[in-house]
Structure formats: structure tokens, C-alpha cells
Amino acid sequence: MGKEKHPYICPAVFAYSLDNILRKFVHKPGKILEPYISNGMTVIDLGCGPGYFTAELARLAGGKGRIIAADLQEKMLVKMKEKVRETGLENRIEAHLCHSDRIGVQGKVDFVLAFWMVHEVPDQQRMFEELKSLLNPGGRILIVEPKIHVTDKLFGKMIARLESAGLEIIERPKISLSRAVLLAVRN
């Protein structure tokens, strides 16, 4: 389950590298997320880590919105809770410990953010199929991968898996130091 060692996962001890003052110059959560999140949405922050995007998702989704901050590591969820406690938005955020082989979220969602984490998933095909099953009609998935870890070739293979899972690219957002796609269920 969530406590198992996983060879692909960035350990919680390196959480500072995912949430630090320098990153705010490169990845501004509001600027990245505002085009996709609106009041009342249910959103999964998949691989939320220490919560770098979580509070901004909660702010954008508003008082009727719901954010599911999902991670495979309990220690990352603890760090995320500490961070959002400072914002006053914690009542909109639900921490969810993923299973080692599946996300395990119940219910439907309007949006999924998977920022710099898909390359750590050993069975991407299975995850993409699960994500597709979680989307409400009109739901979207934003996948952002770091150029430093994910080459064009690897990103192309990931896109092939996304497409075979029944998802289609509807946009290729420009995000610094990253390769990104916005996806929807193929009709």
C-alpha cells in the first residue's frame, strides 16, 4: 500500500525541492491553473507532494469546490496538510493516500492535475485508464512533465499510452521547463 518502498518515487525527504522560493519564479500556480479551474469544481491534485499547487487549486475552486490531494507517501500528505493549514483553505482539501497499484479515489472529478509525477508511475497505462474512469463529462486532465527527466521520445510514448486509454490532447500548454498536455475523453 502507501508505505511500500517504490523505486520510482521522489522521497519525501526531498520535498523542499518541490516547494521552495525559487520555484515560485518558474511555476506560478495561479497563472498555470487559472485557465482550467472554476468555482465548484472537484479536482484531484495527483502526486500532490508537499502541496505546492494544492492551496491554489482550493482557492480557484472556491467554497463549493473540493480538492483531493492524493499522494503515495503519507509523509508528503503530512507536509501538504501543514502547508495548507497556513492558508485557511484546509476545509476544501481532502488528503488521500493512494494505493501502490491504483489511485483509489471514489467518485467523479472535473479536473486532474498531474504535475511532474507521471514519469514516476511504473504502470502509466493502468493509471490513465483509471483517470479516464474518474472524469465527469467534460472533465480534463493536465499532465506536466519535467524536461530534465522526460525526453521528447519518452513523452511521445506517454502520449501513445494516453491515446490508447481513450484520451485525446486538446491543448499543449507552454509551461516553463516542462512538456505539457491537456486531455479529455475521446468521443
Q: Tens digit of pLDDT for each residue in 83-140?
A: 899 899 999 999 999 998 999 999 999 999 999 999 989 999 999 999 999 999 999 9
Q: Classify residue 126 by burial, with Cβ atoms within 10 Å: 0-12, 13-18, 19+.
A: middle
Cα-flanking dihedrals φ and ψ of residue 113, to 5°?
A: -105, 125
Closest CA to 115 of 32, 21, 3: 32
Does pLDDT of 17 surpass 90?
no
Domain ranges of the chain: 12-185
Rounded CA separation 133/109 (Å): 10
First-to-final CA distance of the chain: 34
Read off the DSSP letter of residue 183.
Answer: E
Closest CA to 69 of 85, 82, 53: 53
Q: Quick: pLDDT tens for 48-94.
A: 988 999 999 999 999 999 999 999 999 989 999 998 998 999 999 99
Question: Topology of 12-185 in CATH?
Answer: Rossmann fold (3.40.50)
